[in-house]
Amino acid sequence: MSKLLLLFAHPAFEKSRVHARLIRHCRHLEGLTFHDLYEAYPDFDIDVKREQKLLLDHDIIIWQHPFYWYSGPALLKQWEDLVLEHGWAYGALGDKLTGKRIFNVISSGGSKEAYTETGRNRYTIRQLLAPFEQTAKLCGMEYLPPYVLHGTHRFSNADIEMHAVQYEQLLVALINDRITPDEWNKCTYLNEINPIPETVQS
């Protein structure tokens, strides 16, 4: 089994519809550590050693956050700036995160079509997440495709519940090492992977 660290960054979690439901479905999972950055650090005073230990203790890391101005919320950037230190996470002697897997879980009000070269936002989600991907690469981590929820403003409660169940199943599959590199390397989004074993489906 893999140990999964969910780094959650939402500055207005109390107003969230989508992320609140996703978290409700997954925070209880065995093998998963849920870590709410805004709850832990309301003053942005990050405990670097604590955060580094959490990273060392887990195999898979998730950056889960709303997609604010084509990036993540401010505290997540603060976390990157302070926790991923030179000589620890990267650089000649910075190999502490080598081999770990990491990916983004994001929500966006825009449609998938809006995130294309001819769409309103001009770039794909993967292109806009390039700073996260390059950060992971620089730290020797393997960056997996993101898990993306598009058009969230139009989601009904039933839509949110469906996505929350799918997300929970994906995390269970990752914890239990049921998804192979060949599978995630073929997708644009991790949403495309069906994590339910065939024996369960039948």
Mean pLDDT across 99-104: 98
Counting the structural domains of the chain, the total is 1
Distance CA 182, CA 6 (A): 23
Tens of pLDDT, residue by residue over 148-188, are 999 888 899 899 999 999 999 999 999 999 999 999 999 99
Tens of pLDDT, residue by residue over 187-200, are 999 999 977 654 44
pLDDT(9) > 80: yes
| Closest CA relative to residue 158, chosen from 66, 42, 21, 37 | 21
What CATH number is attached to the domain comprising 64?
3.40.50.360
Distance CA 114, CA 160 (A): 20
Which domain range does residue 61 map to?
4-201
